[in-house]
Structure 1
Amino acid sequence: MSILDKVKHMLGGSAKTEELAKQGIDKAERIAKKRLGGKHARHIDTAAQKAREMADKIDEPDTRPPGTTPAPGRATPPGRDDSTSGPGQPGTTPPPYGP
């Protein structure tokens, strides 16, 4: 389940999901700026803008084929195929040690 699906589910999946998500982002942005006293405002603005861009995609249908969602926190670069494991890749067994 993608992060957008989780947000939709948490917010009830209605047509207002996108708007509610953006309201939450705005509130989080205000609180962060207030607590940090203006420090790191540029970084907060950047993070809030990226979150708003993601919120814009909430109501869009997921066009990826089933089973192609990347692992959480890990995006597969374009052109890279992670369907096979090689040496040092997750899911491989190291060679046995000793004689």
Structure 2
Amino acid sequence: MNNMKSNLSYKKTKVLDYDNTEYFLYHMPLMSCIQNILEISDISQTFALEYEELYKTTKNGKKNIYKEQNNGIWWKTTQSTLPTGAKILSIILYSDATNCDSLGKS
């Protein structure tokens, strides 16, 4: 986060009028967030961009291990359908929230 551009702008969207009060959602467009993350120069070194098959050796032979997203069958199948040079980039989104009670305290 410290390496991201500081000009990330939030948008304000009115979502509700209730009891003479306007309620707004403050948000950042998803594509802006992704673009800012990808502009960090050394971040791509930490990406898992290829399917990686993991095995565990047992008495009965080898057994697949599904540990990370890029170890899953979905990743392997999807990667095989991509054009040459294209990669899958998995992004996990997180949202923080503030809860307000009926008295307006947060």
Bigger-Rg structure (1/2): 2
Indicate the structure with greater strand content.
2
TM range (shorter): under 0.3
Indicate the structure with greater helix content.
1
Task: Give the TM-score taking structure 1 as reference length.
Answer: 0.27
